[in-house]
Structure 1
């Protein structure tokens, strides 16, 4: 078993363990303290990951980092509660934007800051801590950022207050905070079996399919961009890839916070996701032909394609976030988001390994008569995307109005 497989296995197990955090705590009254604890654990174990002295220390710290990082489920439930119905798209797009930017900026940050003693010898000496631990600097920057967020989350107010059945729901956030904290009425109602909730489960399955595609794409894009021209790549350096990903992150932020809420309001999350999936197919098909360009034409084309691809992908994920939160009531949102994140994490762990294996196989068939080289890579990605698009139709995907 190679290093990537061990790392993927550690990621699967640790993120699956975090399901119990998401299910048990993300819908209780102590979510603020729970999120604070998770962020502090991220600071500690992410720093230790950068200071790993051997392979097994890296595996153990990565395992602990994942298993104690049940944040996204409570955050999704939190956003669903503080945004009114007409602003749900904005709330969910904010979360998916942060998630997407993290997936984009993370590799870019690593490309810029990893091995600083070699890239910036005038600033970092080879005998310094950054020379002995070449990946400590990006981990340290991320940990410091997480520490600031952890301190800020100390003042994060609780939003989940359980009211008597006779009390009508309040529109304002201030009224939500001022409401009495009583369990009568809500706790007496029987909880629905989430695994029998088809609107929820269908959106989770679809979420897993598109997550597999997105993670495989992220892995393949970086490998393809740095591969030599003779193999169909772009011959980019890691710094060049980081620049492209940074531009994509900025474009993603602008699109999700300005355009997506308007699109979702007019056509709904399902149509928006379906159209985004359809548009992604010809866009991915163009990638091997973009590699034939050079100079400024190549830079413009690859940056435009990267921004578009990431914007379309995150639009799909945002729509599925909205569907998942609509499919359950307030008391079960934490558990539902926990199930969704655990299932997604398994596919997320398989994506990079599968994408890397697919890319390596494609390099061995450069002279094939059908779909030579990188063309087969993007063809397989398009097949997964097309399957996801077909699954957005009835009777598979069903939207519910329950909130």
Structure 2
């Protein structure tokens, strides 16, 4: 008798259980993104472009200094011999990534607990400040300090990878993450081009930049200023960036 009842219960059970209906909380940015992903099954081109351009801006300050860092160290008169210029230039080039290596994990933990958009805006403010100050460096310690702070206080790269996964459906995760590598590679091309073309403008373009002008006194300020201006434009677009945590146990 018991076996027949079990058979009837199994026959009455549906073969495919219905999935629970998703509940979206009004005013929650994370719920808005989840609803958009459920309604739009295509590739989010606009959000992917935003990821691409933000990551490009992150790469430009890193790579733009390498064409002129040798001449910058020479003009700072920190090396006693010409053979020592490369030694001091190496510390300037490595200080940003050294700072990033120390704090990237910490910034990732912070991003999991507060709004990532606030972090994005904070990182851009830091980039605006310290990238500009680096171009105005008059001492070796100032160049080292600004580059180190630019790296240690900027954890944008790790947050961008998380954002690339958040804003698209699972079948597009590979595309979103590949955009990070693509924009980084393009940044490694554009950054040195900007640095090499715009450094020492008073010597290269004396008709436009006199020797007694600001760019004549600070010959490596112009490439930093151009990158800062580009960063400022992207900063304005981040104000409307819709970001939320995947884990709903935290506040959106």
Q: Where does residue 191 of structure 2 map in the other structure?
A: 351
Higher RCO structure (Cα 8 Å, ≥6 apart):
2
Unaligned runs of 5+ in 1: 1-163, 169-188
Does 2:128 correspond to 1:281? yes
Q: Which moved more, 1:368-377 or 1:378-387?
A: 368-377
1:242–1:340 CA distance, 2 compared to 1 (3 A): closer
State the alpha-carbon separation in 1 of the partners of residues 129 and 39 from structure 2.
47
- Residue 398 of structure 1 deviates from its aligned partner by 2.7
Deviations 1:329-353 (A, max 9, x none): 3332112222443244234322212
Deviations 1:168-221 (A, max 9, x none): 9xxxxxxxxxxxxxxxxxxxx999332x443333222322233334432x4356
Does 2:171 correspond to 1:331? yes
Taking the TM superposition and a 5 Å limit, the aligned residue runs for 1:217-296 are 218-219=65-66, 222-229=69-76, 237-257=85-105, 259-291=106-138, 293=139
Q: Where does residue 231 of structure 2 map in the other structure?
A: 385
Does 2:49 correspond to 1:201? yes
Q: Where does residue 242 of structure 2 map in the other structure?
A: 398
Deviations 1:121-170 (A, max 9, x none): xxxxxxxxxxxxxxxxxxxxxxxxxxxxxxxxxxxxxxxxxxx99899xx
Instruction: Please give the TM-score of this superposition, normalised by the length of structure 1.
Output: 0.43
Q: Where does residue 211 of structure 2 map in the other structure?
A: 367
Contact map agreement 1:363 1:374 (CA 8 A) in 2: no
Taking the TM superposition and a 5 Å limit, the aligned residue runs for 1:68-147 are none
- Residue 246 of structure 1 deviates from its aligned partner by 4.4
Q: Where does residue 41 of structure 2 map in the other structure?
A: 192
User: Secondary structure at the residue paired with 1:328?
Assistant: coil
User: Secondary structure at the residue paired with 2:100?
Assistant: helix
Unaligned runs of 5+ in 2: 1-15, 21-37, 248-252
- Residue 254 of structure 1 deviates from its aligned partner by 1.8
1:380–1:401 CA distance, 2 compared to 1 (3 A): same
State the alpha-carbon separation in 2 of the partners of residues 215 and 345 from structure 1.
10
Instruction: Please give the TM-score of this superposition, normalised by the length of structure 2.
Output: 0.65
Contact map agreement 2:51 2:164 (CA 8 A) in 1: yes
Q: Where does residue 59 of structure 2 map in the other structure?
A: 211
1:371–1:262 CA distance, 2 compared to 1 (3 A): same
The structure that has the greater radius of gyration is 2
- State the superposition RMSD in angstroms: 3.5
- Residue 256 of structure 1 deviates from its aligned partner by 1.4
State the alpha-carbon separation in 1 of the partners of residues 75 and 145 from structure 2.
21
State the alpha-carbon separation in 1 of the partners of residues 71 and 166 from structure 2.
38
Q: Where does residue 309 of structure 1 map in the other structure?
A: 150
Does 2:181 correspond to 1:341? yes
Contact map agreement 1:213 1:385 (CA 8 A) in 2: no
Contact map agreement 2:73 2:89 (CA 8 A) in 1: yes
1:350–1:332 CA distance, 2 compared to 1 (3 A): same
